[in-house]
Structure 1
Amino acid sequence: MSQILTTKVEKDPGERPRQRENGVLFPLADRSGDFNACKLASGVAALASPQALTESWLNTALRLHNPAWPAVVGFTCEPVSANDFDILVRLHLGYADSCSVGPATILAKFSRPLPSPQWEEFIRHSFTREASAYQELNSHYACRVPGLLFAAADGQHFNLLLEDCGGESYAVDESPDEHLPEHEAVLQELAQLHGCFVRTSPASAPQWQLRQRDSARFIAHRYRVGVEALRAVYGGWLTPGHFALVEKFADYVADWHRYERHILTLSHGDARLENVLFQRDGGTCRGSLLSWKLAGVRNPMYDVASVLSNDLSYVARNNSEAALLQRYCRVFEQSGSQYPFREACEDYRFNLFGPLIFNICASGFLQENLAQNGELIKRIRRNCMAIFDWDAMSLMQQRRNVIA
């Protein structure tokens, strides 16, 4: 399996670490399958924002992917989506030769400024993980993802250029009660992904994939930081019962990560509607999965719980949860592996804590602007309601006794 390598960091006495040649490149593997970091050419260091894009930068980057790429002489930039961590835009390309064979559009992704320097190493590793995930998935037909064209990173910024698979992002301000086709489309792709990699184990998976047990202590600490950040703003957003659950679970976070799951696969790690591009054609809807920064070895229901617990209102989840889980299991079993519905439901019940943990940790990451982040608080409220509905805390306590 090809691995992404980075250029080494040079450090002079008395100086802060700096990246050699101002950044790192990850072009696609060549036909032999080799995937090596290459020396940066002039003008392709990682950019801070879409406003820094130039024709020269694009031509250099795209020709590292394909030396025969026609010359780009102009482009326009169309916003696609933005979140607290990165910005995705669609570039409409113009070519010097009108007869040139080149894509009319590509996708470009830019990291946003970090709220704190303490997250720099984590974000750098996340970038490598995301580029590696695209590289891995482009060599399998596991699920719909854009092709990776180019990636660059330095100590503060990272960029991705991706093939444009078409589609539009989910509008956050739309009602989640009206998006059953979108949820079905996402679960279709996740079931195919999970079924393809269901024989993955922590020992066999490549190093770039996260392992839950390895991060147990780190995440438990970040969860407590998030609880403290949330404490100052939860009034009016969360009920006392919800916040009591959030506080109580702080003592269980590490054990939740250490519990050995019996079915493991490659999981997306941040499966939400905002990380998908949707194509609609009449009554059909297809999704392409983006944002693989947290890809890792987990139980399949981690991703399913993230989608349903984050992006469905209380009413919509209660009305469609069982049907969506059954549909997921049918698609999953097309891979040749069995996943009985009752077993999937028990795994789903346990993994409802996954999105809660993610969102509480994000509260600590974004604590300076947490009071203005209504969407994040809304997701935490939905996470708590799902945990209460499934009485997931009692299952956590039973499995904690097994760990002990």
Structure 2
Amino acid sequence: MADYPTHPDQMQAGWLAETLGFPADSLRGFSVRPVGTGQMCDSYRLALDWAQGVVDAPATIIAKCPSHDAASREVARTLGGYILEVKWYQTLAHEVGVPRPHCHFARIEEDGVSFLLLLGDLAPAAQGDQLRGAGPLEINLAIDAAAELHAPLWNSPRLAGIDWLQRDTRPIVRALFPSYFAQFRERYAQRLDPECLALGDGLVRKLDAYLAYEPSATTLQHGDLRVDNILFAPDQSACWVVDWQTLSIGAGARDLAYLIGTSISDPAERAALDRPAFDRWTNRLAALGVATDIDALWQDYRLGALSGYFMAVFASMSVERTERGDEMFAVMAERPARQAIALRSLDLL
């Protein structure tokens, strides 16, 4: 059992004050309300009522906790999602340049489920809207943030020594994806057109090749880099990346293809952006000191277009079902399907 609270209902004002670096009696109380649309965790904004005279204390913070939904918690346990996010904040976030929230507290238990994160509140920055999609300024900010994540450990031998990133989930994915896609196809038969669903049939047939593909370069890969997982400043001058439960060692180009494929609602606009977005990303990597093989990375990008569709299928069958979630996963499948078809991604397998 954790010796710290794993939900705001279990928190005492004194514990929270001391955890944030202040005397126990300096926090008179706090209020709680849910925030965000994440389906793997529950997140809350804590408004802190400090005693008079307390200086440099945050007015609000974000508490991130295990999901209230048992199925989502089990998926997180099986795939190690909570471990990945906590370990990211504990060990890597401070040395990787990607913009992200400040972490006040990060602990997890050996069960891989009981955990707590206390993060800086970036309000008035606001979460992107997956259903609406992203505009040019948001996309450019996100591309630059992706490069700042990917550059520091690009092809680094250090990656092999990060033991908590060595979990191989491919056997689980190989076992579950075909049945998940059958359920996905049935659920979305009236929502997605036949061409989009046929892409899934092809992915099932080529699943072994997809899972065995070795990218041309490896680095830290966010794994779910879409606008729902990015906070944007009101004037679109900055962004911050959140939700690190799918962090892995993999292809940075996959993150980029996933971002572009899931974020642009109009297929023609997305098709016109694929290569310029890729060029912006590789140019930013070069500015950060990374030598790249452009042709090989473009192939990684083309194959990465399948990742948004893949995630939509897997996640939609793994987490608590909601009305917004149903439409979000439909969009997450539909947009990358158009991208993968245009880029002939399956032909690479």
TM-score normalised to structure 2 length: 0.88
1:196 is aligned to 152
Alignment check: 8 A CA contact 1:152 1:158 kept: yes
Amino acid at match of 1:94: D
Q: CA RMSD in A?
A: 2.6
Letter in 2 for 1:45: P
> Structure 1 residues 371 and 198 mapped into 2: Cα distance closer, same or farther (>3 Å)?
closer
Distance 1:255 1:189 in 2: 30
Per the alignment, do residues 170 and 199 of structure 1 end up closer, same or farther by CA in structure 2, a change over 3 Å counting?
same
Mapping for residues 4-403 of structure 1, pairs under 5 Å: 22-23=1-2, 40=3, 44-47=4-7, 50=8, 52=9, 54=11, 56=12, 58-64=13-19, 66=21, 68=23, 71-77=26-32, 79-112=34-67, 113-115=69-71, 118-119=74-75, 121-122=77-78, 125-153=80-108, 157-166=114-123, 167-173=125-131, 175-176=132-133, 179-201=135-157, 204-210=160-166, 214-281=168-235, 284-313=236-265, 314-366=267-319, 373-396=326-349
Offset at residue 238 of structure 1 (A) = 1.7
Distance 2:148 2:72 in 1: 37
Amino acid corresponding to residue 66 of structure 1 in structure 2: G
What letter matches 2:187 in structure 1?
V
Distance 1:137 1:381, change over 3 A: same
> What residue ranges of structure 1 are gaps of 5+ in the alignment?
1-21, 24-39, 397-404
- 1-side partners of 2:261 and 2:209: how far apart? 21
SS at match of 1:373: helix
Show CA shifts across 1:240-296 (max 9, x none).
222222022113223222222231001111111111111133xx4211111111111
Size of the aligned set, in residue pairs, is: 344
Describe the shift of the 1:162–1:75 C-alpha distance in structure 2 as closer, same or farther (beyond 3 A): same
Which moved further from structure 2: 65-74 or 221-230?
Answer: 65-74
**Larger CA deviation: 150-159 vs 287-296:** 150-159
Structure-2 change in CA distance of 1:170 and 1:362 (3 Å): same
Indicate the percent of aligned positions where both proteins have the same amino acid.
19
Q: In the alignment, residue 168 of structure 1 is paired with which amino acid?
A: A
> Retained in 2: the 8 A contact 1:225–1:364?
no
TM-score normalised according to structure 1 size: 0.77
Deviation at 1:118, TM superposition (A): 4.9
Greater RCO (CA < 8 Å, at least 6 residues apart): 2
- Mapped to 2, the partners of 1:128 and 1:74 lie a distance apart of 30
Is the contact between residue 92 and residue 104 of structure 1 (CA under 8 Å) also seen in structure 2?
A: yes
Distance in 2 (alpha carbons) for counterparts of 1:165 and 1:234: 35
Q: Is the 8 A contact 2:6 2:66 kept in 1?
A: no
Distance 1:160 1:193 in 2: 20
Contact 2:14–2:23 (CA<8 Å) still a contact in 1? no
- Identify, as 1 or 2, the structure richer in helix: 2
Q: In the alignment, is the contact (CA less than 8 A) between 2:101 and 2:119 conserved in 1?
A: yes
CA contact (8 A) 2:72 2:320 kept: no
Q: Which structure has the greater CA radius of gyration?
A: 1
